[in-house]
Amino acid sequence: MNRFLLPLGVFVLLAVVLAIGIRHSPDKGIIVSPLLGKAAPEFSLPVLTEAGRTLRSSDLRGRWYVFNVWGTWCPSCREEHGFLLEVQKSGRVPLIGLDWRDDDAQARAWLAQLGNPYETVIVDREGRTAIDWGVYGAPETFLVNPQGIVVYKHVGALTREAWETEFLPRISAQAAARS
Amino acid sequence: MPVKSSQAAPGRPGWVALIACALLGVSAAWAIDPTELPDPKLQARYLALTHELRCMQCQNQSIADSPVGLASDLRREVRDMLVAGKSDEDVRNFMVARYGEFILFRPRFSARNAWLWFGPVVLLALGCFVAIRILRQRAALLPQDTEPVDEDLRS
């Protein structure tokens, strides 16, 4: 009996370690952003639809906003576009679009054709702001609270499921804590 | 003399030259990143850094080897920081702050991954401990068991 105890112990330990490892990697393609819980990176970028206007990150302080990174070259952005329009219709939280490494004329045509879900779209032609936000593929969607802290990041096309399970509860939770 | 050789085997050097030219073209086309920094020391550091940073979009390539737009943007950041006099560690910190440890092909030592570094050593020590205990137990048993057999063989 005693001579089986050690190998059994080692086996159980290994099984537990591997089980934890498997549990913690549901999506190997998705990398947890180091930005979560930190202040949203600052930016000051031109607005796509109004020549001469710039939007600064400080302009957005004091309210929730969703920061959505997209580009006309990105097929998944087309896929999520319909749902973004629904989010806009719900009126819960404004969408700020970051048009990443894109052509302005094409971006305007895209919005004219598919509808514009964004309160403001800013243009990041050189991709510097995207790097500051740790963006590695479009679309990516961040949730930023009124204190300017990034509270959630979604990688890939935004889905109703992600919206209802990850975004909305976070917004309601803080609103409830306030009142 | 090259002229003589071409007379000896007409047509052949022409083919060799053609193939050589074709290969030259290929090597130039494969170079994703044509950047040359003015200072050779900076250039060496630039090459080393871009080879140890992961392209997050195509995760098994370095940003030096990847043709995607994001990789070229990140190479530009590295280049600009080096030219501005930043250290290699500054560049790594910049990348890690934005993309996390995953961007480094050579992970840093931290409390979270300490068991990865020390795990094998601990396991080896454990194995040695068990092996020594087993050997000692056997050694204690051996003299009594083998002696009569040896006696039998000798007679």
First-to-last alpha carbon distance for chain B, in angstroms, is 86
CB contact under 8 A, A127 and B73: yes
Q: Which residue of chain A has the CA closest to B134?
A: A3
Whether residue A94 lies inside any domain: the answer is: yes
Between these two residues, B29 and B44, which has the higher pLDDT value?
A: B44
Q: Answer whether B100 sits within 8 Å of A126, measured CB to CB.
A: no
Supply the pLDDT for residue B8. 43
Range of A138's domain?
31-178
Question: Please, is B112 exposed, middle or buried when counting C-beta atoms within 10 Å of its C-beta (0-12, 13-18, 19+)?
Answer: exposed
Tell me, yes or no, whether A63 lies in a domain.
Answer: yes
Span B10-38, pLDDT tens digits: 455 566 665 655 555 544 445 577 778 88
Whether residue A29 is predicted with pLDDT greater than 60 in this model: the reply is no
Inter-axis angle of helices B69-83 and B88-99, to 10 degrees? Answer: 140
B108 touches chain A (CB under 8 A): no
Residues of A with CB under 8 A from a CB of B: 6, 31-35, 101, 126-128, 130-137
Does A18 map to a domain?
A: no
Q: Which has more pLDDT, A112 or B116?
A: A112
**Segment B45-103, tens digit of pLDDT:** 999 999 999 988 877 889 998 888 899 999 999 999 999 999 999 999 999 999 988 89
Looking at the domain assignment, is residue A17 inside a domain?
A: no
Measure CA B59 to chain center.
15
Task: Report CA dihedral (B130, B134, B137, B142) to the nearest 10 degrees.
Answer: -160
Residues 6+ apart with CB under 8 A from A149: A37, A38, A39, A40
Look up tokens 């086996």; give the residue. Answer: A11
CA pair distance A33, A151, nearest whole angstrom: 10
The answer to whether position A97 is within a domain reads: yes
What was the pLDDT predicted at B94?
Answer: 96
pLDDT of res. B29:
44
- In this complex, the residue of B73, B100, B130 whose CB is nearest that of residue A131 is B73
pLDDT, greater one: B83 or B116? B83
How high is the mean pLDDT of chain A? 91
Tell me the mean pLDDT in the region B34-45.
86
Contact B69 A31 (CB under 8 A): no
User: Which residue, A166, A157, A34, A133, is CA-closest to B73?
Assistant: A133
pTM assigned to the model: 0.74
Q: Name the domain count of chain A.
A: 1
pLDDT at A26 over 50: yes
Choose between B148 and A170: higher pLDDT.
A170
Asked if residue A4 is part of any domain, the answer here is no
pLDDT over 90 (residue A66): yes
Determine contact, residues B101/B107, Cβ cutoff 8 Å: yes
Give the residue with greater pLDDT, B107 vs B87: B87
Interface pTM, i.e. ipTM? 0.82
Confidence of residue B153 (pLDDT cuts 50, 70, 90): low
For residue A143, name the pLDDT band (cuts at 50, 70, 90): very high
* CA torsion through residues B131, B135, B138, B140, sign: negative
Question: Whole-angstrom Cα distance, residue B50 to residue B95?
Answer: 11
- pLDDT at residue B106 above 90? no
**pLDDT at B121 > cutoff 70:** yes
- Continuous H helices in chain A: 2-23, 75-90, 104-114, 128-132, 160-162, 168-178
> What does DSSP assign to residue B142?
H
Neighbour count for residue A70 (Cβ, 10 Å)? 25
- Chain B closest-CA separation from residue A131 CA (Å): 7
Q: Which residues of B touch A126 (CB under 8 A)?
A: 73
Backbone angles phi, psi at B143, to 5 degrees: -55, -45
Q: Roughly how many angstroms between the first and final C-alpha of chain A, as a whole number?
A: 62
The predicted pLDDT at position A21 comes to 83
**A31/B77 CB distance under 8 A:** no
- Specify the higher pLDDT residue, B18 or A171: A171
Q: Which residues of A touch B70 (CB under 8 A)?
A: 127, 130-131, 135-137
For residue A85, is it within any domain?
yes
Q: What is the pLDDT of residue B3?
A: 41
Contact predicate B53/B85, CB 8 Å: no
At A99, which CATH number? 3.40.30.10
Classify A74 in phi/psi space as left (phi over 0), alpha (psi -120 to 50) or beta. Answer: beta
Q: How far is B73 from chain A (nearest CA, A)?
A: 7
For A74, B1, B42, B64, B66, the CA distances from B31, given in Å and listed in that order, are 26, 34, 19, 10, 10
Structural domain contains residue A124: yes
Pick among A30, A31, A35 to test the B interface (most B CBs inside 10 A): A31
Nearest to A33 among B57, B70, B100 (CB): B100
